[in-house]
């Protein structure tokens, strides 16, 4: 790929050995999120009148893109929405379902799409469901009722209600979120850490009594800048440590005040977030002299321009499925998303579930038009690359990189990278060049991995216009392109990473 700025390249290197690993990537790391917000559901995944709609009203063009994206798990139905949601409204005959005000997003929810529709979607998209329960305006009993409806085979009030709705076999959902962002004052039913921890503990215990095989996620901090960060996790885990499997993390990033260097270094914050939560969880485990380890569910993460005015809709409050949070993503945003994926992979020993928020239309990798096409946003591509090539063992890297100063995160390396050895014998290196004008010459010592000489596939997502985006009018303006000149020789890899780029390098290994 050419160097349009004509700048002399930087230089960075990595060294790795297959005997030194971080851990195996859990497929759940490539999850996403469907919330009843904006057009994520209605005219997103579900549009019965669309030309591509199937018998369940699901857009088959969107389903095809979801499968191409490589999503493995989808969290549902929220998000802030779940804290005011009555799950019973979304089951049974559609014509009998009530319309409700959704206080989280000031819209009207028709409840035309609910739990059973979502489960049909999950089956067709080939994703694992991650179900959230309302611990905002509701509590223990409603969670148990939902669990009985969802997972109990037959012979009880709620399991028979499900069967009367045409779902004979239980859904068997294993992974459950105990509420959403309960530390946030914006959340319906916001609670203190002690209040939430007590509620989460009694709910978790009761749910496990019904179904011991469940995996449960307690709410962690909504972001690392919350004033209660750290203390919140400690208090919640004091109550729930023996009853849950995960503590959640949420983080969104955006470019502000033209500070592109800090934005490109956003993963430094995610790295510190993960390290802080791991340290807090392990501290509570040590206090309890427990042999159990709490993992992290990073079940909301993405680029989201929250500081912008609400610029996607001029519809009044209390409308149905308005255009909300429909950020159009650029090359710069895609490079940041790639860097965040690298961070999640680098921490795969503790981050064993994660959800890109969200899946369609709302801060999403996939966009649609009602009655019209569906297309890939720029951020689609790094996620698809990682989901396709990032399965296996993450290797520990010794990395040498030039650094630069950022206003928000201090000194950060310009090269951000990780490597995954896949079961098929392929080694994949994911690398980001954070410099906005200079290419970076990457060398990698792969001798311990025994690479096949001369055989490398290198693609890069980059563009001379960092604001380039994929839109309705130009749906494939930005796509990964093949890079020539990348070679392996004598066990060493040489590659040129374009300025501000996401790079995927796949190298076959000799047996």
Give the active site residues. 181, 300
Which residue, chain included where needed, has tokens 């997502």?
Answer: 461
Measured CA to CA, the distance from residue 409 to residue 263 in angstroms comes to: 9
Dihedral (Cα; 237, 239, 244, 248), 10-degree rounding: -40
DSSP letter assigned to residue 328: P
Measured CA to CA, the distance from residue 100 to residue 273 in angstroms comes to: 36
Measured CA to CA, the distance from residue 219 to residue 216 in angstroms comes to: 10
CA angle 109, 115, 118 (to 5 degrees): 95
Give 285-292's long-range contacts (Cβ < 8 A, gap of 24+). Answer: 285/241, 288/241, 288/242, 290/241, 290/242, 292/241, 292/242
Pairing, β 393-400 against β 107-109:
unpaired
Measured CA to CA, the distance from residue 189 to residue 85 in angstroms comes to: 12
Measured CA to CA, the distance from residue 186 to residue 196 in angstroms comes to: 15
Cβ–Cβ < 8 Å for 354, 32: no
Nearest C-alpha neighbor of 18 from the set 331, 308, 269, 392? 392
Measured CA to CA, the distance from residue 269 to residue 255 in angstroms comes to: 14
Can you read off the two tokens belonging to residue 247? 């503590």
Cβ–Cβ < 8 Å for 350, 295: yes
Handedness of CA 62, 67, 71, 72 (dihedral sign): positive
Q: Residue 264 is inside which H or E element, if any?
A: helix 260-264
Which residue, chain included where needed, has tokens 């035309």?
Answer: 112
């Amino acid at each position: 790929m050419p160097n349009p700025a004509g700048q002399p390249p930087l230089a960075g290197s990595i060294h790795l050995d297959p005997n030194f690993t971080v851990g195996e990537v859990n497929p759940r790391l490539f999850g996403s999120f469907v919330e009843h917000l904006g057009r994520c559901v209605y005219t997103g995944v579900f549009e019965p009148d669309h030309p591509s709609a199937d018998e369940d009203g699901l857009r088959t063009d969107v389903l095809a893109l979801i499968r191409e994206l490589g999503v493995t798990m989808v969290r549902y139905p929220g998000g802030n929405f779940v804290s005011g949601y009555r799950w019973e409204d979304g089951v049974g005959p559609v014509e009998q379902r009530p319309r409700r005000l959704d206080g989280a997003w000031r819209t009207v929810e028709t409840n035309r799409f609910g739990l059973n529709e979502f489960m049909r979607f999950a089956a067709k998209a080939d994703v694992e469901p991650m179900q959230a329960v309302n611990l905002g305006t509701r509590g223990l009993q409603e969670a148990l009722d939902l669990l009985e409806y969802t997972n109990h085979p037959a012979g009880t009030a709620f399991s028979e209600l499900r069967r009367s709705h045409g779902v004979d076999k239980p859904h068997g959902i294993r992974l459950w979120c105990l509420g959403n962002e309960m530390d946030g004052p914006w959340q319906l039913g916001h609670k203190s850490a002690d209040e939430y921890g007590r509620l989460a503990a009694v709910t978790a215990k009761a749910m496990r009594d019904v179904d011991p095989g469940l995996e449960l996620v307690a709410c962690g901090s909504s972001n690392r800048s919350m004033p209660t960060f750290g203390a919140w996790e400690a208090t919640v885990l004091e109550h729930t440590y023996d009853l849950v499997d995960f503590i959640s993390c949420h983080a969104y990033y955006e470019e502000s005040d033209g500070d592109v260097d800090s934005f490109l270094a956003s993963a430094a914050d995610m790295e510190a977030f993960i390290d802080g939560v791991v340290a807090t969880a392990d501290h509570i485990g040590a206090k309890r002299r427990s042999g159990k380890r709490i993992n992290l569910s990073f079940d909301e993460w993405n680029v989201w321009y929250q500081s912008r005015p609400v610029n996607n809709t001029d519809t009044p409050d209390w409308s149905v499925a308005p255009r909300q949070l429909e950020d159009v993503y650029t090359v710069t945003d895609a490079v940041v998303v790639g860097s965040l994926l690298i961070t999640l992979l680098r921490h795969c020993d503790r981050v064993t579930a994660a959800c890109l928020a969200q899946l369609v239309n709302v801060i999403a990798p996939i966009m649609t038009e009602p009655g019209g096409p569906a297309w890939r946003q720029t951020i689609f591509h790094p996620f698809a690359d990682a989901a396709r090539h990032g399965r296996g063992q993450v290797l520990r890297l010794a990395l040498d990189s030039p650094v630069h100063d950022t206003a928000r995160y201090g000194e950060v390396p310009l090269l951000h990278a990780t490597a995954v050895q896949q079961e098929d014998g392929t080694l994949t290196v994911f690398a980001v060049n954070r410099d906005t004008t200079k290419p970076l010459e990457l060398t990698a010592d792969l001798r311990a991995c025994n690479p096949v000489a001369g055989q490398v596939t290198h693609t890069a997502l980059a563009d001379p216009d960092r604001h380039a985006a994929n839109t309705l009018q130009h749906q494939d303006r930005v796509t990964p392109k093949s890079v020539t000149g990348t070679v392996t020789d004598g066990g060493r890899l040489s590659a040129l990473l374009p300025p501000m780029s996401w790079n995927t390098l796949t190298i076959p290994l000799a047996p």
